[in-house]
Homo-oligomer: A and B are copies of this chain.
Amino acid sequence: MPLIVQKYGGSSVADAGKIKNVARRIAAAKDKGDQVVVVVSAMGDKTDELLDLAYRISESPDSRELDALVSTGEVVSATLLTMALKAMGYEAISLTGAQAGIRTDATYSRARILKIESKRVVGELEKGNIVIVAGFQGITEELDVTTLGRGGSDTTAVALAASLGAEVCQIYTDVEGVYTADPRLVPGAQRLSEIGYEEMLELASYGAKVMHSRAVELGGLSGIPILVASSFTDSPGTLIHGGASMEMRNKVSSVAHDLDVAKITVVGVPDRPGIAAAIFEPLAAADVSVDTIVQNASIENITDLTFTVAKGQLTKALEVVKPISESIGARDCIGDSKLGKVSIVGTGMQDAPGYAARMFQTLSEQGINIQLISTSEIRITCIIDEAKVKDAVRALHQAFELDKNK
């Protein structure tokens, strides 16, 4: 019997009415004859409410306790969703991450899944149950509860799909799929009917909020097709998969953007071995996540080192880097928080150098100055003035004819 895994995010189960709506969608999938496993997030703002409680108790809550606390949010939504299905006459059972056999390491708040012991899930499916699994959580060898960090429920869903050999993992959310650009910025943005894992990974990492890159990566590794679609409409969504069709090749598929960008430039750095390590190791130790790093060509053994961080981390990053920059004899250390990031992504570009030129030309025509450039095989990213991001996305969407995409 075909098996599908579905995942519903917090906005899809935000209240009793929405939970009933999701139950109807699950029932429809079951009626088609599939075995159905459902992964569910905490209701709406529930996780934030629990975190808020914790921080009213303690400035730095213990991480093991924090995970045990917030994991209750998904248990609540899983049990409620199961009640809704049973009230409709369907056989269903809720399982916590622990009961579903999701074994993780003990890195609280961002645990990694080590393996899935799927005996209980398989047993419940064989009894004819729809199995509702609390997302975002697992259990250590010591039977302590962990949470999986950002994108956790998506990761639970894809990992379960991989371990159970599901046909597809369906991620239901509040958007209708993956678009050629953010539809709020670009009215002509088109839903993509399919996209490759690598492109989706770049989009997820470079600003598209649809799915967390971690779950996409896991999907790519295990070869499980992932459908991203809306839980509120019947739009067919976007299928993320590995067997790229001809149409997916040879073009830019999407423009991504991110407004949460700050930049630090260490000016006049003596160009000698060990300098980069001297800067980035203390930043990692201070839990500052560094994104793009660019080092200019060295002139007379003096270079400029620039990197970006999330805006909320700029102050902390400067506190770490300023004393280091003095001690290594750099001339200055400058922060700038008014930046944004715009990227074009597509498998097509790896064999065709003209894409970069067209991107830079388009930005230039808009009078937009490029502060930093970074590239991968299937992505080109420019860091620009925050105020220009909207114009840049629109111009690039038009320049690469994405409004004609289907």
Residues of A within 8 A of B (CB): 16, 19-20, 50, 53-54, 56-62, 64-66, 68-69, 72, 75-76, 78-80, 82-84, 86-87, 93-94, 96, 98-99, 120, 143-145
Contacts and interface: CB of A to CB of B under 8 A. Distances in A.
B50 A87 contact: no
Contact of A143 (B54, B59, B80, B99): B99
Number of this chain's copies in the assembly equals 2
Given A64-B93, A69-B76, A86 B58 contact: yes
A70 to B, nearest CB: 9
A325 B80 CA distance: 41
Given A65-B94, A143-B99, A87 B57 contact: yes
14 contacts: A16-B56, A16-B57, A53-B76, A54-B83, A57-B83, A58-B84, A65-B86, A65-B94, A66-B83, A68-B79, A69-B79, A69-B80, A99-B143, A120-B143
A88 to B, nearest CB: 9
Nearest to A56: B16
Contacts of A93: 64-65
Given A57-B80, A69-B75, 20 more contacts: A20-B57, A50-B76, A53-B76, A54-B80, A54-B83, A57-B83, A61-B86, A62-B82, A64-B93, A65-B94, A66-B79, A66-B83, A68-B75, A68-B79, A69-B76, A72-B75, A72-B76, A99-B143, A99-B144, A120-B143
Contacts of A76: 50, 53, 69, 72
A65 B79 contact: yes
A83 B58 contact: yes
A69 B84 CA distance: 13
A82 B65 contact: yes
Contact of A57 (B58, B66, B75, B84): B84
Nearest to A15: B56
Closest 8 pairs between A and B when the two form their complex, measured CB to CB: A58-B87, A72-B72, A69-B79, A16-B56, A65-B79, A61-B83, A58-B83, A62-B86
Contacts of A82: 62, 65
A188 to B, nearest CB: 41
A66 B79 CA distance: 7
Nearest to A70: B79
A19 B86 contact: no
Contacts of A69: 75-76, 79-80, 83
Given A20-B57, A53-B16, A57-B20, A62 B83 contact: yes
Greatest chain B CB density within 10 A among A59, A83, A84, A94 is at: A83
A56 B80 CA distance: 10
Nearest to A60: B87
A78 B72 CA distance: 12
